[in-house]
Chains A and B, each alone.
Chain A
Amino acid sequence: MESSLEIRFHGRGGQGVVTAANVLAEAASLENMFSSAFPIYGAERRGAEIESYCRISRTQIRETSPIEEPDVVVILDPTLLKISNPLRGLRKDGKVVINWKGASPSVGFKTYTVDATGIALELKLVKSGWPLVNIVMLGALVKATGVPSLESLKMAIGQEFSGNLGELNKRAVELSFERTFEVEQIVA
């Protein structure tokens, strides 16, 4: 990582988009980096489009506004590609980490895919019928950026979730870290 990293999460209300950014910020702070995490608030509700943000930096973070030009975009729900523009403002050399099964999507950026839904179902990380893909995606993000380490991520997960839920999510990020595919940028 250079001096700072800006990550934007896209998902739907109920998927844990906000928690994903929070856990990432906690994991980064375990490595003595500065971090901040916050969502866009408004008419948030189950199923609605949700954005959250995480800044990680070696120096104090002084920006408080939403991330408009992220280094990385994490997409928890691939259907969002069709109904909105989660890639807006992504830097030219930016990365996309997406919950995706099968042949990789062509999005014009360096892309990392992981079948997070599959991993969540496999581990029975399901609540009210919704696969909990938020933490699973963090494993793929760590694979894509190297920040923070998988170990720190697992420690942060342990702090956020107690008991079985914590263990399942730790297992989930191990699996997603292994099963993340890197797709080189497809130049049109």
Chain B
Amino acid sequence: MMKVMSGNEAVALAVKLARVGVVGIYPITPQTTIIEELAEMRARGELSADIVRVESEHSAMAVTLGAAVSGVRSFTATSSQGLLYMHEMVWWTSGSRAPLVMVVATRAVGAPWNIWNENTDFMSERDSGWIMAFASTPQEALDLTLQAFRISEDPRVFLPVMVGMDGFILSHTKTNVFIPSQEDVDNFIPPRRQPYVIDPETKESMGNIFPPIYYMKLRQSIHEAITNSEEVIKEVGREYNKISPLGDYGTLNVSYKLDDADYAVVTMGAWSLDAMEAVDKLRENGLNVGLYRVRYIRPWSEKEIRENLGDKRAILVVDRATSLGRGGPLYLELKSTLNIPIKGVVTGLGGVSVGKRDFYSLISRFVEEARYSEVGGVEWYYPGEVKEVELGTPRTAH
């Protein structure tokens, strides 16, 4: 069935279709309409999950984790400051090897206050031991959330999965979404599996002190589970394609017109579609460029990335996030994967709007540079209109 819905509505629907039992959640813009939608479903009697509205994101994850280890499929969602406040429990969840799913509607991080889109909040969790996927459309937000439950509960993985989507640009944009049937989803997601169940009747407990060697072995185990998840994700993706006619989930990441391209642009999230428009236009004008969209930041598929980008003359990586003082996280990851000239661009922070024209100018300028010189380094790009904004005079400290 097709329906016009926002990314947040699509996620809430995926949670319902996955027959989640507990949602521990706390509202924060731009994620709030997920919890609102779930609460309305519950009020209408369409959703049987217990929605536990706690007093903070730290507790939201604690509830979700507690439910997960006690044997229930559980879900939460957050954004920005909320994710940062939850940070400790995010690590506690992956360390506990608890299968569960969290959606992050991305948003810039304060100070100063800013509610608009930026991916730095999501990217700042990439060392935490979660499987991390990022959507580019409301459709993909629904698809990846459904797949996340199955990936998370696979015995080869047994890790939590974080699904990111651009705040507002995906979370609040209504567009056409294909909804798989409840029957198809029931067949797609097997009954709950998890590594252990904490039950007051048994003596087992979790998270007790681990001596150094055991602790390090657990850490290595998470590392191996993440690398092994690559095969699981492809397998689950292929299965999902069978229930969704538009599915393109046989690979971790997505390439667009890359085969014969000399140069490539690498992106993540919603603006990849604007970049595709630019790639088409540039090709019309004789520039041989393609696009590579990163869908999974963890696992980071070195193999897939080398196969798709290894033979390019140079690549341009556009990040909507920063590792301050170093450039964009995607840029840094690609630098450590490929041995070709790579230029980074940081833009779109705090809701700065970047469209197809910006990608057109960024990519064409990059190809021009790359043809005649060795490209590299990181550029902070401001679309034309932003340059004209009058910035307040900085005050000097007294």
Could you say which of B2, B276, B354 contacts A65, with CB atoms under 8 Å apart?
B354
Given A29-B4, A63-B274, A63-B356: A41 in contact with B172 (beta carbons within 8 A): yes
Given A22-B4, A62-B274, A65-B355: A39 in contact with B175 (beta carbons within 8 A): no
Contact residues in A for B354 (Cβ distance below 8 Å): 65
B176 at the binding interface (Cβ < 8 Å): yes
Q: Contact between A25 and B174 (Cβ–Cβ < 8 Å)?
A: yes
Chain B nearest CB, measured from A47 CB (Å): 20
B169 at the binding interface (Cβ < 8 Å): yes
Contact residues in B for A26 (Cβ distance below 8 Å): 4, 174
How large, as a class, is the contact surface on chain B? 20 to 34
Q: Contact between B116 and A41 (Cβ–Cβ < 8 Å)?
A: yes
B331 at the binding interface (Cβ < 8 Å): no
Q: Contact between A36 and B172 (Cβ–Cβ < 8 Å)?
A: no
Chain A nearest CB, measured from B239 CB (Å): 24
Number of interface residues of A (CB under 8 A): 20
Q: Contact between B4 and A64 (Cβ–Cβ < 8 Å)?
A: no
Give the complex CA separation of A12 and B172 in angstroms. Answer: 19
Interface residues of A in 47-102 (CB under 8 A from B): 61-66, 68
A42 at the binding interface (Cβ < 8 Å): yes
B173 at the binding interface (Cβ < 8 Å): yes
Chain A nearest CB, measured from B48 CB (Å): 24
Write the A6-36 contact mask toward B (1 if CB under 8 angstroms, else 0): 0000000000000001100110010000111
Decide if the interface of chain A is mainly helix, strand, loop or mixed. Answer: mixed
B75 at the binding interface (Cβ < 8 Å): no
A137 at the binding interface (Cβ < 8 Å): no
Q: Contact between A63 and B175 (Cβ–Cβ < 8 Å)?
A: no
Given A29-B2, A29-B4, A35-B4: A64 in contact with B174 (beta carbons within 8 A): no
Q: Contact between A66 and B353 (Cβ–Cβ < 8 Å)?
A: yes
Chain B nearest CB, measured from A61 CB (Å): 7
Q: Contact between A22 and B174 (Cβ–Cβ < 8 Å)?
A: yes
* From B175, B274, B353, B354, residue with most partner A Cβ within 10 Å: B175
Write the B271-283 contact mask toward A (1 if CB under 8 angstroms, else 0): 1011011000000
Contact residues in A for B353 (Cβ distance below 8 Å): 65-66
Contact residues in A for B115 (Cβ distance below 8 Å): 41-42
Q: Contact between A35 and B176 (Cβ–Cβ < 8 Å)?
A: yes
Give the complex CA separation of A42 and B172 in angstroms. Answer: 13
Could you say which of B168, B173, B276, B355 contacts A36, with CB atoms under 8 Å apart?
B173
Whose C-beta in chain B lies nearest to the C-beta of A65?
Answer: B355
Contact residues in A for B3 (Cβ distance below 8 Å): 29
Chain B nearest CB, measured from A80 CB (Å): 20
B329 at the binding interface (Cβ < 8 Å): no
Chain B nearest CB, measured from A129 CB (Å): 26
Interface residues of B in 58-97 (CB under 8 A from A): none
Q: Contact between A61 and B174 (Cβ–Cβ < 8 Å)?
A: no
Given A22-B4, A29-B2: A64 in contact with B176 (beta carbons within 8 A): no
Give the complex CA separation of A63 and B278 in angstroms. Answer: 10
Whose C-beta in chain B lies nearest to the C-beta of A37?
Answer: B174
Whose C-beta in chain B lies nearest to the C-beta of A21?
Answer: B174
Write the B137-163 contact mask toward A (1 if CB under 8 angstroms, else 0): 000000000000000000000000000
Q: Contact between A63 and B355 (Cβ–Cβ < 8 Å)?
A: yes
Chain B nearest CB, measured from A67 CB (Å): 10
Chain A nearest CB, measured from B176 CB (Å): 5
Contact residues in B for A63 (Cβ distance below 8 Å): 273-274, 277, 355-356
Give the complex CA separation of A126 and B277 in angstroms. Answer: 43
A181 at the binding interface (Cβ < 8 Å): no
Contact residues in A for B168 (Cβ distance below 8 Å): 38, 41
Write the B197-226 contact mask toward A (1 if CB under 8 angstroms, else 0): 000000000000000000000000000000
Contact residues in A for B4 (Cβ distance below 8 Å): 22, 25-26, 29, 35, 37
Contact residues in B for A29 (Cβ distance below 8 Å): 2-4, 176
* From B4, B169, B271, B277, residue with most partner A Cβ within 10 Å: B4
Q: Contact between B273 and A62 (Cβ–Cβ < 8 Å)?
A: yes
Contact residues in B for A41 (Cβ distance below 8 Å): 30, 115-116, 168, 172
Q: Contact between A62 and B276 (Cβ–Cβ < 8 Å)?
A: yes
Give the complex CA separation of A65 and B385 in angstroms. Answer: 14
Q: Contact between B271 and A64 (Cβ–Cβ < 8 Å)?
A: yes
Chain B nearest CB, measured from A23 CB (Å): 9
B41 at the binding interface (Cβ < 8 Å): no
Q: Contact between A61 and B276 (Cβ–Cβ < 8 Å)?
A: no
Q: Contact between A37 and B173 (Cβ–Cβ < 8 Å)?
A: yes
Whose C-beta in chain B lies nearest to the C-beta of A67?
Answer: B355
Contact residues in B for A37 (Cβ distance below 8 Å): 4, 173-175
Given A25-B175, A29-B2: A64 in contact with B169 (beta carbons within 8 A): yes
Q: Contact between A35 and B175 (Cβ–Cβ < 8 Å)?
A: yes
Chain A nearest CB, measured from B271 CB (Å): 6
Could you say which of B2, B174, B355 contacts A38, with CB atoms under 8 Å apart?
B174
Q: Contact between A39 and B176 (Cβ–Cβ < 8 Å)?
A: no
Interface residues of B in 236-274 (CB under 8 A from A): 270-271, 273-274
Contact residues in B for A62 (Cβ distance below 8 Å): 273-274, 276-277, 356
Whose C-beta in chain B lies nearest to the C-beta of A28?
Answer: B4
List 6 A-B residue pairs with CB atoms under 8 Å apart, sorted by A's residue number.
A25-B4, A25-B174, A36-B175, A38-B168, A64-B273, A65-B274
Interface residues of A (CB under 8 A from B): 21-22, 25-26, 29, 34-39, 41-42, 61-66, 68
Closest 4 CB pairs of A and B: A65-B355, A62-B273, A38-B173, A36-B175
